[in-house]
Amino acid sequence: MRILAIVAVLAAIAILAPREAAAMPEEEFEQAMREIAALQESGRLTEADARVQQLLAEQRTRLSSSQRNDLEFETERSRRIRRDYSLEQDRLLEQLADRIEDFTGEEYHEWLAAGKFDYKLIDGERRFVGPSVSNLFFRNPDIRARRADATESVWQPFLYEHAMAVMDEHRHTAQDTTKPRHFRLHMTITVPGGTVPEGRTIRTWMPFPQQIASQSGIELLSASPEPEWVNAPNYPARSIYFEQRSRGEEPTVFEAEYTLTTHPRWNPVDPDRVRPGLQRENPYFDYYTREQPPHVVFTPAIREKAEEIVGDETNPYLKARLIYNWISDNIQYSFAREYSTLRNISEYVLENRYGDCGQIALLYIALCRAVDVPARWQSGWVIYPQFRNLHDWTEILVEPYGWIPVDPNFGLDIKQRFDALDTEQRQELKDFFFGGMDAYRLVINSEHGYPHYPPRRAVRSDDVDFQRGELEAGGENLYFGDFRYRLEVEFLGGSDEAGAPATATAAGGAD
């Protein structure tokens, strides 16, 4: 009897207890996310943020942890979009007057009506992306000729001579890498004073070069503070991981110095030796021809364009070359929004016909994979004597040759903007970057969007690429602008080229 009584009481409690709401169906959640995305893309960011907060409040008990995280990031995405579209019209007009000879206000209105500027009505006020004037020069050769700050290019002839030297070196070797070049690099990441409360631990992932066929001789000479972890030599997003307590009002600094030996590459391919059947036998074929959401997806637009470009061609190498040529002729380089603000980068570039190097690389990968050409990401820095910068490119698998480099962004730059070279030289250099790679590459990533190790607790600043560093403190991300990064490069020798580099620096980050 006692057992029956206990059962009866438990049953009564179960009846009276409030029932947990059913989990929010994925279809319903995806529809809500599409509504938020539409509001953000139309610039109605305040409405998008309000919708996020409404869902978090009303659906609190129905949201899974991943759904809740996705929703919370949408508020952060809105903040990042506001930051990208921060340039007001009056300031843009000042910049146009400063940088374009004989600029008139009427021209501004003509360019605006013609869609020459990337802008949004952010909550009803027109805002432009920060590098709008630079993008105007990229997209319009006639306006580029009127640059008030134009200088003669010494980099273009240097790159041409270097590429020709690499191809000549290849004639004397039995491998696809040629004479090594040696460097010493020093990277510094600085969190300005007052950014993070004193004593709070700052977790920092600093980019560090991979040990691969095209680069070796990597030796960590010094690091401060003492690293907590260094990723394996071939980790797809390799980093040095540090922890250090914030110094409050004093800057908190992370730094590392290391050596690097690079090996330029040249891969002359005979298309007649390439066979589609041999491609498919490669164990990497399925992996590198797959979709990779959210930025490599075979949407109808991507698949239709890829099939249109390659037509009846069946040779994988020639398919990849057709796509390379199409991008060179039809896509323009532009400084871009931060990658984390875009939902499908490859389709964004295809729709707008412009993008930066990484966005162009993702379009190239998506188009190649859509027609069964294995393609993958590679990125890091370019460390030329004339300048240093973040950069992204690709590799394609061509059997029996293996992986060969392709830089679609350089292809279009050489075709569209290398005015210091003649037509024949431009064609030679464009051909080189389909299968060849120069010595001035610092390779950090062999995959896009790859997770960091040790694992992050906060969302990433860049959820696609990894070149500037990633930082967090107290479980909160430190976004670009909250820290500075600096890369110093010293050339140690290894080449008899004219104009060999000595020392140079690239920096960016907090204002």
Find residue 341's DSSP bridge partners: none
Rounded to whole angstroms, the Cα distance separating 163 from 172 reads 15
pTM given for the model: 0.92
Secondary structure, 3-state, 49-80: HHHHHHHHHHCCCCCCHHHHHHHHHHHHHHHH
Contacts of 114 (CB under 8 A, 6+ apart): none
> Which among 459, 509, 498, 502 has a CA at the least distance from the CA of 159?
498
Distance of CA 55 to the CA centre of its chain: 31
Q: Which amino acid makes up residue 485?
A: Y
Tokens 């930051």 -> residue: 83
Query: What does the buried/exposed string (b/e) look like for 251-263 if buried means 16 or more CB atoms within 10 Å of the residue's CB?
Result: ebebbbbbbbbbb
List the beta strands (DSSP E) in 331-458: 332-333, 354-355, 375-383, 388-398, 402-406, 436-437, 441-445
Pairing of strands 484-493, 503-509: antiparallel
Rounded to whole angstroms, the Cα distance separating 341 from 19 reads 38
Distance of CA 242 to the CA centre of its chain: 23
> Which among 334, 336, 320 has a CA at the least distance from the CA of 412?
334
Query: How much is the pLDDT for 508?
Result: 66
Secondary structure, 3-state, 235-274: CCECEEEEEEECCCCCCEEEEEEEEEEECCEECCCCHHHC
Cβ burial, residue 275 (10 Å; 0-12/13-18/19+): middle
Query: How much is the pLDDT for 495?
Result: 56
N residues, the chain? 511
Query: How much is the pLDDT for 507?
Result: 62
Please report how many Cα atoms fall inside a 13 Å half-sphere around the Cα of residue 287, on the Cβ side. Answer: 7
Cβ(257)–Cβ(240) below 8 Å: no
Cβ(148)–Cβ(98) below 8 Å: yes
Query: How much is the pLDDT for 493?
Result: 81
Q: What letter would DSSP give residue 339?
A: G
Main-chain dihedrals φ then ψ at residue 163, nearest 5 degrees:
-60, -40
Cis link prior to 316 (omega < 30° from 0)? no
Query: How much is the pLDDT for 499?
Result: 44
Distance of CA 289 to the CA centre of its chain: 20
Three-state secondary-structure class, residue 479: coil
Write the CA distances from 7 to 4, 17, 314, integer angstroms: 5, 15, 72
Among the residues of 436-475, which ranges form H helices? none
Contacts of 235 (CB under 8 A, 6+ apart): 210, 453
Q: Domains plus CATH for the chain?
A: 89-144 (no CATH), 153-511 (3.10.620.30)
- Per the structure block, which two tokens stand in for 292? 């990779």
Query: How much is the pLDDT for 498?
Result: 42
Q: Which amino acid makes up residue 426?
A: R
Contacts of 16 (CB under 8 A, 6+ apart): none
Q: Which amino acid makes up residue 170?
A: H
> Which among 133, 104, 105 has a CA at the least distance from the CA of 118?
133
> Which among 342, 384, 392, 336 has a CA at the least distance from the CA of 364?
392
- Per the structure block, which two tokens stand in for 96? 């146009």
Rounded to whole angstroms, the Cα distance separating 405 from 436 reads 6
Write the CA distances from 69 to 75, 292, 438, 479, 490, integer angstroms: 11, 21, 41, 17, 43
Distance of CA 44 to the CA centre of its chain: 26
Q: Show pLDDT as tens, one digit a residue, over the chain (511 residues).
A: 444 444 444 344 444 444 445 678 889 999 999 999 999 999 999 999 999 999 999 888 899 999 999 999 999 999 999 999 999 999 999 999 999 999 999 999 999 999 999 999 999 999 999 999 999 999 888 898 899 987 878 899 999 999 999 998 887 776 777 889 999 999 999 999 999 999 999 999 999 999 998 999 999 999 999 999 999 999 999 999 999 999 999 999 999 999 999 999 998 999 999 988 888 888 899 999 999 999 999 999 999 999 999 999 999 999 999 999 999 999 999 998 999 999 999 999 999 999 999 999 999 999 999 999 999 999 999 999 998 999 999 999 999 999 999 999 999 999 999 999 999 999 999 999 999 999 999 999 999 999 999 999 999 999 999 999 999 999 999 999 999 999 999 999 875 454 444 555 656 665 4
Rounded to whole angstroms, the Cα distance separating 355 from 334 reads 5
Q: What letter would DSSP give residue 383?
A: E
Rounded to whole angstroms, the Cα distance separating 421 from 425 reads 6
Among the residues of 85-154, which ranges form H helices? 89-99, 105-113, 132-139, 141-144
Cβ(386)–Cβ(154) below 8 Å: yes
CB atoms within 10 A of CB 4: 8
Query: How much is the pLDDT for 269?
Result: 93
What is the secondary structure of 427-496 as a DSSP string? HHHHHHTBTEE-S-EEEEESSSSPPPSSPPSSPPS-SS--SS-EEEETTEEE-TTSSEEEEEEEEEE---
Radius of gyration of the chain, Cα coordinates, nearest whole angstrom: 26
Pairing of strands 332-333, 354-355: parallel
Query: How much is the pLDDT for 19?
Result: 44
